[in-house]
Amino acid sequence: MITFKRDKKEEEDGGGNPFQNLEKTTVLQEARTFNNTPVNPRKCAHILTKILYLLNQGEQLGTTEATEAFFAMTKLFQSRDVILRRLVYLGIKELSSLAEDVIIVTSSLTKDMTGKEDLYRAAAIRALCTITDSSMLAAIERYMKQAIIDRSPAVSSAALVSSLHLTSVSSDVARRWANEAQEALNCDNVMVQYHALGVLYQARKADKHAVIKLVAKLMRTSPKSPYAACMLIRMAYKLLDEVDEGEELIGFIESCLRHKSEMVVYEAAHALVNLGRSGAREIGPAISVLQLFCGSPKPALRFAAVRTLNKVAMSHPAAVTACNLDLENLITDSNRSIATLAITTLLKTGAESSVDR
Amino acid sequence: MAILDNDGNRILAKYYDKNVFPTSKEQKTFEKNLFSKTHRANAEIIMLDGLTCVYRSSVDLFFYVMGSSHENELILMSVLNCLYDSVTSILRRNVEKRTVLDSLDIVMLAMDEICDGGIILDADATSVVQRVALRTDDIPLGEQTVAQVLQSAKEQLKWSLLK
């Protein structure tokens, strides 16, 4: 069956990589097909894929070329083919920085983002926000606020992430949409929770007291999303540098050492050992966790642990000594980065006995 | 985020930070370098040019996710797993260069769903696939050619037999 498939493919493509010998000019010429009515979804999707592939390979398009391709692409909005539409969104995003007058698709995208199909809406929001400039922002604001509190996680996440990107267009976007983000924070979806926290932090990061309030509130409920939890740990860690009273914050980070996600546990351990002020007592539990990770079957986890220990060994060599045996095991690790880190760490903890071995 | 083939050539790559490798030439040099350091050692993680890179391979493909050296390695790993699992599920388990190229459009859409401008958009492969793999189900029969119908029927039969 596989050989049969191959043969057929090779007949179609002339063998090898169908995208290998694409010529920019030829492909752009082909893009004129987009102007034909009715639209042939399969053919157009294939041509659009070729354009996207060329851009991805690093091919440079001039402003005129890009603008022409962009305008041809806008004709594809006539088709209702799902894949083609999604590729058009992708094309809009890729060409938005190269072509001129890209705001021409604003109304088409606004229509899609308020339409019925969730799959369109999320992607349309993201495409729309890449072409939005400060003058257009007011026009889409109402839709964005609605999208943030949408019941579909995809739509809500798309709107939240887009508002983070829009900060570069207008710095107070996040603040203006903070109420909606606050509501999205209660969402059950792990990604929405994470993105909402990102927007809220963006909105308040200039105001230390607002951040303290936000962190304090979340510490009590402890977010379910591991990504949000990692972010909260980072926020708490940063606050510790700025405030004098940090018992609660440290307590929270320590409690994260018992989180069920390894990602969060590592983030917490990493934060604890890097705290400038902490003494051997505070980093003790974190070191034990890292020691445990040294024996993990996952290379990424061993790497993360030994890299962190390597850094701690500079400031608290005595605390790391407890891990010497585990580190010695890692000297022969199949991952050379891990082995190297283990050796340098051992050199810093300075136990002569292990150096001899 | 990048997918390279077994010669270290780029199949798809996306750079989210304009300050790191701003030109395509620098990107490709980095990719070559990364590939030469990783294609033999099956080690999952490496530090290169101040970046933490996690990777895994399948047949003739290499999947990479890169991040700042301050980034939590396990978060990068979760993105890599999501990328790999999504591609696996989109390609119905035949993860190799040819199948990726055959479904390049869908793979591009999947990468777009995983990361938006450097922010993790979704790290759950099932939901990523749900958002992109709409091929056979969504196209009315009338719009498919006879060959496509046969092809999809064959695929379905094949997988029902293999299950």
CATH code of B47's domain: 3.30.450.60
Give every strand in the sheet of B2-5, ordered side by side.
Answer: B10-13, B2-5, B61-68, B51-58, B45-48
Contacts of B74 in chain A (CB under 8 A): 262-263, 266, 300-301, 304
Contacts of A119 in chain B (CB under 8 A): 131, 134
Q: What pLDDT is attached to residue A184?
A: 87
Considering only CB atoms, A300 lies closest to which of B24, B44, B117, namely B44
Please write down the long-range contacts of A14-17, taking CB distance under 8 Å and 24 or more positions apart.
Answer: A17/B97, A17/B101
Q: Indicate whether B84 belongs to any domain.
A: yes
Q: Contact B82/B123 with Cβ under 8 angstroms?
A: yes
Cβ-defined contact of A58 to B46 (cutoff 8 Å): no
Domain extent for B38? 2-143
Partner B, chain A 313-332, Cβ-Cβ below 8 Å: none
Q: What are the tens digits of pLDDT across the range A248-288?
A: 888 888 888 888 888 999 999 888 888 766 666 677 888 88
Question: Strand, helix or coil at A61?
Answer: coil
Cβ-defined contact of B45 to A86 (cutoff 8 Å): no
Question: Strand, helix or coil at B121?
Answer: coil
Q: What pLDDT is attached to residue B103?
A: 86
Cβ-defined contact of A337 to B74 (cutoff 8 Å): no
Position A12 confidence tier, pLDDT thresholds 50, 70, 90:
very low
Q: Contact B27/B15 with Cβ under 8 angstroms?
A: yes
Q: Indicate whether B105 belongs to any domain.
A: yes
3-state secondary structure string across A198-256: HHHHHHHCCCHHHHHHHHHHHHHHCCCCHHHHHHHHHHHHHHHHHCCCCHHHHHHHHHH
Q: Indicate whether B22 belongs to any domain.
A: yes
- Phi, psi at A106, each rounded to 5°: -50, -50
Cβ-defined contact of B72 to A335 (cutoff 8 Å): no
The ipTM (two decimal places) reads: 0.85
As a whole number, mean pLDDT of residues A61-78 equals 87
Cβ-defined contact of A165 to B116 (cutoff 8 Å): yes
Q: Indicate whether B159 belongs to any domain.
A: no
Rounded mean pLDDT of chain A?
82
Number of domains in chain B: 1
Partner B, chain A 102-161, Cβ-Cβ below 8 Å: 119, 122-123, 126, 154, 157-158, 161
Lowest mean pLDDT among A237-251, A299-313, A340-354: A340-354
10-residue stretch averages of pLDDT, chain B, 163 residues long: 86 86 88 86 82 88 90 91 90 83 88 89 87 57 56 69 59
Report the distance separating Cα A338 and Cα A105, nearest Å.
Answer: 50
Q: Indicate whether B115 belongs to any domain.
A: yes
Position A160 confidence tier, pLDDT thresholds 50, 70, 90:
very high
Q: Indicate whether B6 belongs to any domain.
A: yes
Tally Cβ neighbours within 10 Å of residue B111.
22
As a whole number, mean pLDDT of residues A140-150 equals 88
β-bridge mates for residue B62, sequence order: B4, B57
Cβ-defined contact of B45 to A303 (cutoff 8 Å): yes
Length of chain A: 357
Q: What pLDDT is attached to residue B64?
A: 92
C-alpha gyration radius of chain A: 26
Cβ-defined contact of A161 to B24 (cutoff 8 Å): no
What percent of chain A has a predicted confidence (pLDDT) above 70? 90
Q: What are the tens digits of pLDDT across the range A26-52?
A: 888 888 888 887 878 888 888 889 888
Instruction: Give the contacts of B78 (CB within 8 A, at least 6 positions apart).
Output: A263, B123
Q: Indicate whether B70 belongs to any domain.
A: yes
Q: Indicate whether B94 belongs to any domain.
A: yes
Could you tell me the two tokens for A242?
């700025």
Q: What are the tens digits of pLDDT across the range A84-119?
A: 888 999 999 888 888 888 888 888 888 888 888 777
Q: Contact A135/A172 with Cβ under 8 angstroms?
A: no
